[in-house]
A and B are shown apart, each in its own frame.
Chain A
Amino acid sequence: MEKKIRVLIAKPGLDGHDRGAKVVARALRDAGMEVIYTGLHQTAEMIVETAVQEDVNVIGLSLLSGAHMTLFNDVTKLLKEKGMSDVLVLGGGIIPEEDAPALKKVGVCGIFGPGTPCEDIVDFIKKNVKK
Chain B
Amino acid sequence: MFEEKELEKIKQKKDEWEKTCYLKLVKENHELKDKFENLSSIDIKNLYTPNDISHLDYINDMNFPGEFPFLRGVHATMYRGRLWTMRQFSGFGSAEETNQRYKYLLAHGETGLSVAFDYPTLYGYDTDHPLARGEFGKCGVAISSLKDMEILFSGIPVDKISTSMTINGPAAIVWGFYIANAENRNINRRNIGGTIQNDILKEYIAQKSFIFPPEPSMRLIVDTFEFGFKEVPRWNTISISGYHIREAGSTAIQELAFTLGDGLEYVRWAVKRGLKIDDFAPRLSFFFNAHNDFFEEIAKYRAARRIWAKELKKLGAKKPRSLIMRFHTQTAGCSLTAQQPEINITRVTIQALAAILGGTQSLHTNSMDEALALPSEKAVRIALRTQQIIAEESGVTNTIDPLGGSYYIEWLTDIMEEETYKYFDRVEKLGGVIPAIEKGFFQREIAEAAYKYQKEIDENKRAIIGVNKYKVDEPIEIPILKMDEKGEERQINRLKKLRKERDKSKFEKNLNRLRKAAEGEENLMPYILDCVHSYATLGETCGILREVFGEYKEPAIY
Contacts and interface: CB of A to CB of B under 8 A. Distances in A.
Direct contact, A vs B (beta carbon within 8 Å): yes
Interface SS of chain B: helix, strand, loop or mixed? loop
Nearest to B467: A115
B519 interface: no
Given A22-B447, A96-B478, A65 B139 contact: yes
A94 B454 CA distance: 17
Contacts of B59: none
Contacts of A43: 131
A26 B451 contact: yes
Interface string A9-24: 0000111111100110
Given A14-B122, A114-B372, A117-B458, A97 B476 contact: yes
Contacts of B476: 97, 113
A64 B454 CA distance: 18
Contact of B208 (A17, A66, A74): A17
Interface in B35-61: none
B207 A16 contact: yes
Interface in B443-496: 446-447, 450-451, 454, 457-458, 464, 466-468, 475-478, 480
A26 B135 contact: no
A94 B139 CA distance: 11
Contact of A115 (B138, B339, B446): B339
A53 interface: no
Contact of B556 (A14, A39, A67, A95): A39
Interface in B474-528: 475-478, 480
Contacts of B134: 13, 67, 69-71, 74
Interface string A93-124: 01111100000000000000111011100000
A113 B338 CA distance: 8
Nearest to B477: A97
A-side interface mostly: loop
A23 B450 contact: yes
Contacts of B125: 14
A70 B86 CA distance: 35
A119 B135 CA distance: 30
Contact of B475 (A23, A65, A97, A115): A97
A84 interface: no
Nearest to A15: B119
A25 interface: yes
A78 interface: no
A81 B123 CA distance: 31
Nearest to B460: A117
Interface string A58-73: 0000001111011100
Nearest to A39: B556
B293 to A, nearest CB: 19
B73 interface: no
Give the interface residue-count category, chain B.
35 or more
B457 to A, nearest CB: 7
B556 A98 contact: no
Contact of A97 (B120, B138, B372, B466): B372
Contacts, number: 110
B457 A18 contact: no
B271 to A, nearest CB: 30
Q: Which of B122, B133, B478: most chain A Cβ within 10 A?
A: B133
A125 B346 CA distance: 35
Contacts of A39: 554, 556
B373 A14 contact: no
A102 B9 CA distance: 70
Contacts of B374: 66
B162 interface: no
B548 interface: no
A14 B554 contact: no
Given A37-B556, A67-B134, A113-B338, A23 B477 contact: no
A105 to B, nearest CB: 17
B47 to A, nearest CB: 35
A40 B123 CA distance: 13
Contact of B450 (A19, A40, A119): A19
Contact of A118 (B119, B447, B458): B458
Contact of B131 (A14, A69, A74): A14
A47 to B, nearest CB: 14
Contact of B138 (A17, A25, A65, A118): A65
Nearest to B369: A96
Contacts of B138: 65-67
* Residue from B123, B138, B334 having most chain A Cβ neighbours under 10 A: B138
A27 interface: yes
Nearest to A64: B139
Contacts of B480: 96, 98
B379 interface: no
B247 interface: yes
A117 B454 CA distance: 8
Interface string B95-126: 00000000000000000000000011011010
Interface of A: 13-19, 22-23, 25-27, 37, 39-41, 43, 64-67, 69-71, 74, 94-98, 113-115, 117-119
20 contacts: A13-B131, A13-B135, A16-B209, A17-B248, A19-B248, A19-B334, A22-B450, A22-B451, A23-B450, A40-B208, A65-B119, A66-B135, A66-B139, A67-B133, A69-B134, A94-B371, A96-B373, A96-B478, A115-B466, A118-B458
Given A22-B558, A69-B134, 7 more contacts: A14-B125, A16-B209, A26-B447, A27-B451, A39-B554, A40-B554, A41-B131
